[in-house]
Structure 1
Amino acid sequence: MRIFVFEYITGGGCVNEEMIPSLKAEGDMMLNAIVRDLTELESIDVLISRDVRLDSLSLPTNIHWVEDDWWSAWLTCVNEVDAVLPIAPETNGVLESLCRAVEASGKLLLNSSAEAVSIASSKKATVDCLAMQGVPVIPTWRFGAHPRFNNQPLVVKPDQGVGCQDIHIIADEAALIEYVKSRDPIIEWVVQPYMAGQSISMSIMVGHSCVCLVGTNIQRVVQMNDGFYLLGCVVNGLKSHQVELLELAKGICAAIPGLWGYVGVDLILTEQGPVVLEINPRLTTAYVGLSQSTGRNLAAMIMQLAECPGALPTGLITGECVHIDLELGRVA
């Protein structure tokens, strides 16, 4: 089988604009990890696209170099393969559009469905779906439809956004209004109460009526000025709350049909327990250390799901702690 692995940042999506070094480094770490896992499997041939400003990978892959028109390059690559694994931001509907294009092409999509991605791409839609299923979530409102808060710190973020980008802590209601007025009016903002706790994430594998928790991770998130910054994570560094997190994972997949393959979930671990912030229907940074942590080839699990949708060990797979350092671009 020939698989096109498309990492948006390094694969040409930013070819006509300046590439943000931190996003490039994170993208390359994920790309290298999934390509490494795939190329260890028999009868798998991997194709990637690559921004011409970057070096090639030191892995056995075929490369389609992208000079200017990334979408044409994308279509060319899709036509040459049997399956596509997209790694792209949810912002502006990019990941959803890629998934819909793969579905329309008739090629095998090694990712959650476009419909599931559409829901997970919106923080408000995600919270609404999960709350209806009884999954604990942080209260979330669209700006302008939110309750008025007095003397309480708030968090404001784009409804569609990736990671910690453009997330800000706001002192109170007056500061919130002033902040939103100062920003691009096209951006749709959501408002949440500031919630104290530890930043954690889950890495789950999802098949047909089966959910496997493969990573309970600690996120190294720091607050600086009025923003949040992700410095890295400790894959399988969280040894508590695993049974509770597995039940949350099952509730999430029941609430959003179409989640499939690798899915990441960001949470806050509060004194009352874990609370879901958002869902990432794609590979996340934690994937970089998961095969090393668990001793399993996660790409092999994805391909097993593609062949047999219910062929997934349900429950919890524990692993050793693996540190991913985004500042230095290394795994230890």
Structure 2
Amino acid sequence: MRLFLYEDLCGGGCDEFLEFPSLKREGLAMLNALIHDFSLMPSTLFGTNLQLITHWDVRHGTAPFQDIHNLQVVNVREEQADEAFAETLKHCDAALVVAPETGMRLQQLCELVERSNCRSLNSSSAAIHLCGEKLLFAQHLEQAKITTIPTSTDLEELPMSSHYVRKPRDGAGSSGVQLFSEQEARAASIRPVENTIWQPFISGQPCSMGCFHNAGTGDLLCLPIAKQHLSEDGQFQYQGGEIPLVTAKRSAATQVVQSLVDSVTGLNGYFGVDMILTSAGEVVIVEVNPRLTTSYVGYRKMTKTNLAECFFEVPDAAKIDWVRHITFQPNGETQGRTLNRNERDCGWY
């Protein structure tokens, strides 16, 4: 079986993001984790040997994957990236794509996979479109009666708040996100910024939940809740996180995610749910990242289970033994310790 593992910033296809070193570091951390985890998967799972293929932008120097015996690295140049992507699909059995939602990039790449003979390990392009367009997705969640942040392109349509957040409608990460006081927001709204939305600022604990879902069988695995570390400069820069976050709202968050999956046709493979746990006891959905997220680099260090296997068969949550508390950085660096009793006893399923 030939499996194409593609990360867009490392593979030369997302040139406009090279000016954001943090996104490149996150992309490399995710690609590195995927390559190592898939390389260790037993051949018995497929009935044949697994051959991995990835793309590497030559502008980044030598690919840091020289020790992987079953990996083929295709070196590409920026102007050849999309052509090389389409060509590699012709020679693979399955593909997993990691790319930003910005400018519909992730959606477009997954559409190419869907039109090929490759099995896609991603969500459907339709689900990616819905989740990637923040205004459309907020409206979808409201119609599905799933608690989310009021969202509009017009500040005047939103509830009164002491602070507001402006963000791109199709952004990835925290690029372009900015916090404003009410006075600042009203002044800024006089000169609208194209392709942005407004939301009232919701206070609470920012966190995320990684999930695996098999769209064919309906099997859903919700991973432990991760505490997000965000900058306090009003730009919400992602600074990694720690797993697990011990909270009594674990069960409520899982129920919300199940409702979300039931409402979004085509969510498949790995996706991340960003949420806020409020002091009033609410689980407020911020957004869904319909792709691998940086939290994966932390989750894989929490357990001896190879989480890459979940892309092919989603296990019962009780079969995964979470043994480590992990603090992780966006560049993939992690620190860990054994779970304490409170963390072990809080229940993951």
Q: Same fold (TM over 0.5)?
A: yes
Asked if residue 192 in structure 1 is aligned to residue 190 in structure 2, the reply is no
- Residue 299 of structure 1: which of 305, 308, 311 is its match? 308
Distance in 2, Cα, partners of 1:135 & 1:9: 33
Residues 324 and 330 of structure 1 are in contact (CA less than 8 Å); yes or no, is this contact kept in structure 2? yes
The answer to whether the Cα contact below 8 Å between 1:214 and 1:317 also exists between their aligned partners in 2 is no
Following the alignment from structure 2 to structure 1, what is the Cα–Cα distance between the partners of residues 272 and 159? 32
Aligned partner of 1:307 in structure 2 is none
In percent, how many aligned pairs have the same letter? 28
Q: Is structure 2 residue 55 aligned with structure 1 residue 49?
A: yes
Cα deviation, residue 106, structure 1? 2.7
Match of 2:38 in 1: 38
Quote the Cα distance in structure 1 between the aligned partners of 2:257 and 2:198.
Answer: 24
1:91/1:315 CA distance change after superposition, 3 Å? farther
- Aligned-residue offset at 1:200: 0.2
- What is the aligned partner in structure 2 of residue 113 from structure 1? 124
- Take 1:80 and 1:280, find their aligned partners in 2: how far apart are those partners? 28
- Opposite residue 261 of structure 1, the aligned amino acid is G
Other structure's SS at 2:237 match: strand
Instruction: Please report how far the alpha carbon of residue 99 of structure 1 lies from its aligned counterpart in structure 2 after TM superposition.
Output: 0.9
The 3 A distance-change label for structure 1 pair 318 and 123 is: farther
| CA deviation map 1:125-160 (0-9, x unaligned) | 2222222222211111123673474x7311111111
Does the 8 Å contact 1:222/1:230 carry over to 2?
yes
Equivalent of 2:240 in 232, 244, 247: 232
1:53 is paired with a residue of what secondary structure? helix
Instruction: Supply the AA of the counterpart residue of 2:128.
Output: V
Return the letter of the residue paired with 1:128. Q
Aligned AA for 2:245? G
Partner of 2:272: 264
Q: Secondary structure at the match of 1:106?
A: coil
Q: 1:78 aligns with which of 67, 89, 105?
A: 89
Cα drift, residue 255 of structure 1: 1.1
The one-character-per-residue Cα deviations of 1:217-237 (angstroms, maximum 9, x if unpaired) are 00001221x321111111323
Query: How far apart are 1:15 and its partner, in Å?
Result: 4.9
SS in 1 for 2:28: helix
Aligned partners of 1:229 and 1:92: how far apart in 2? 20
| CA 1:329–1:295: 2 relative to 1, 3 Å | closer
Letter of the aligned partner of 2:325 in structure 1? C
User: Cα distance, 1:21 vs. partner?
Assistant: 1.8
Q: Is the 8 A contact 2:159 2:200 kept in 1?
A: no
* Match of residue 325, structure 1, among 325, 329, 332: 329
Residue 136 of structure 1: which of 139, 147, 153 is its match?
Answer: 147
* CA distance in structure 1 between the aligned counterparts of 2:208 and 2:16, rounded to whole angstroms: 33
Change (3 A) 1:189 1:145: farther
1:268-310 residue CA offsets vs partner (Å, 9 max, x unmatched): 1111222100000000001112122133211111122xxxxxx
Q: How many residues align?
A: 320
Instruction: Report the equivalent of 2:138.
Output: 127
Q: Hey, what does 2:289 align to over in structure 1?
A: 280
Q: For residues 2 and 316 of structure 1, what CA distance do their matches in structure 2 show?
A: 28
Unpaired segments ≥5 residues, structure 2: 44-48, 336-349
Segments of structure 1 that go 5 or more residues without pairing to the other structure are 305-310
Deviation of 1:214 (Å)? 1.5
Q: Deviations over 1:164-199 (max 9, x none)?
A: 11111111266345367274xxx3111111111111
Q: State which of 162, 165, 177 in structure 2 corresponds to 1:167.
A: 177
Q: For 1:202, what is the secondary structure of its paired residue?
A: strand
Match of 1:308 in 2: none
Structure 1 residues 292 and 168, CA, compared in 2 at 3 Å: closer, same or farther? same
